[in-house]
Amino acid sequence: MLPTDGSSERMAQLATAKMSQFLNLMHRFSSLDWETVEDIIVTGVWDAPIKEALLMKLHQNRDRNVSSPALIPGLRKQLLLSVPDSIHMAERVGGFGGLGSIVFEPRQAMKDYRIYNPDLIVDNYREGNFGRISGKPRKGKTNIGCVQIERWMSQNQVAISNIRPKKDSETPPRYFYHGTASGMFGTVSKLNEKELWHFTLDEGGLMYGRPDQSTRRVKDLDKLVRVIGKLHGNMTLIEQRPESVPQIFIDFSTNIYYAHEPGDVSIELKGPYREFSERLKNFPATSLPFNTYDIGFFDVDVDVVEMLKELSGKDNPKKAMAKFIRK
């Protein structure tokens, strides 16, 4: 006879909830930290040899200073293969106690972005700070970048980007669109001596990706990243695939955003001024009139190394920058 006390139904509901929690984590795998992935393995993998192998792989890569668990080859696939079987086993063998022992992360309903300070998205940017935004196509990556630009400008700061405004639209006076490096540096050279600025590079993988790491263009941009703080700048890179982000940007980024769906965003801040980790709903739509279908290519038409040589040792580096750009 089937049980009549509803225990089978409650067991099935709990198993479904655990599977949903796991899949939710896998959907934002690129933003998970080491501790969260370790928790998934420890509580969610019941096969002891597989658990030991996964923990060893995780710890070895962390000890090698791999910047994110998402960059460990094959780890996501191994978890997708192992954890669902463990949940089924826990349901069959362990009952409520077994399922209850699988704790991926504290689960609450997704919080509403609107309950937080709207400047949360720029709290870790002062000068020489970096961030990256990723997500699948048409999920709201550029919108996150534009909202970040809006909040940055609300603090009376200068925003520069290759995110193209719509034709004939009115853009804020402190927003500067540039599709070329010479245009960007030209704007920076006109700023006051210690005026802060933020450069948002959309579709960064078109010109600045890990597969192109050996090209002169990428090497030049790497050098710029190293000195951007000395020019009082910050930078955010928008790219679809986290694994395409150049290593230097992974190393330097303490602000990580992932677009799951429009309005559904994971935010992970790792200092130096704010620490925060949450998946949030009702992320706002930007009011910036940007052209969502623009290709967004950014032409590195400046010899960055030669420019940095010109700036070195100068009392007024922005004046030297302006002179170099005019050549």
pLDDT value at residue 138: 86
CB atoms within 10 A of CB 43: 18
Q: What is the pTM for the complete model shown?
A: 0.69
pLDDT value at residue 4: 45
Whether 220 and 268 share a structural domain: yes
Report CA Rg, the chain. Answer: 23
Whether 235 and 201 share a structural domain: yes
Q: Is 26 helix (H, G, I), strand (E, B) or coil?
A: helix
Whether 311 and 182 share a structural domain: yes
Instruction: Please count the structural domains in the chain.
Output: 2
Per-residue pLDDT of the chain (327 residues; tens, 9 = 90+): 334 455 677 777 777 777 787 888 888 888 888 888 888 888 888 888 998 999 999 999 988 888 889 999 999 999 999 888 888 777 676 666 666 667 675 444 578 999 999 999 999 999 999 999 988 888 899 999 999 999 999 999 999 999 999 888 888 999 999 999 899 999 999 999 889 999 999 976 566 655 555 566 667 778 878 888 989 999 999 987 666 677 788 888 999 998 888 999 989 898 899 988 888 889 999 999 888 778 778 888 888 889 989 999 988 888 899 999 887
pLDDT value at residue 1: 36
How far apart, in whole angstroms, are the C-alpha atoms of residue 39 and residue 194? Answer: 44
Whether 149 and 290 share a structural domain: yes
CATH number at residue 129: 3.40.50.300
303-307: list long-range contacts, CB under 8 Å, 24+ apart.
303/220, 304/181, 304/220, 304/221, 304/223, 304/224, 305/220, 305/223, 307/185
pLDDT value at residue 100: 64
Whether 217 and 305 share a structural domain: yes
Whether 182 and 52 share a structural domain: no
* Residue 109 falls inside a structural domain: no
How far apart, in whole angstroms, are the C-alpha atoms of residue 174 and residue 172? Answer: 6
Domain-terminating residue out of 69, 100, 131: 100
Q: What end-to-end distance do the CA atoms of the chain give, in Å?
A: 88
* Residue 110 falls inside a structural domain: no
Per the structure, the complete domain to which residue 68 belongs is given by: 7-100
How far apart, in whole angstroms, are the C-alpha atoms of residue 76 and residue 74? Answer: 6
* Residue 111 falls inside a structural domain: no
pLDDT value at residue 55: 94
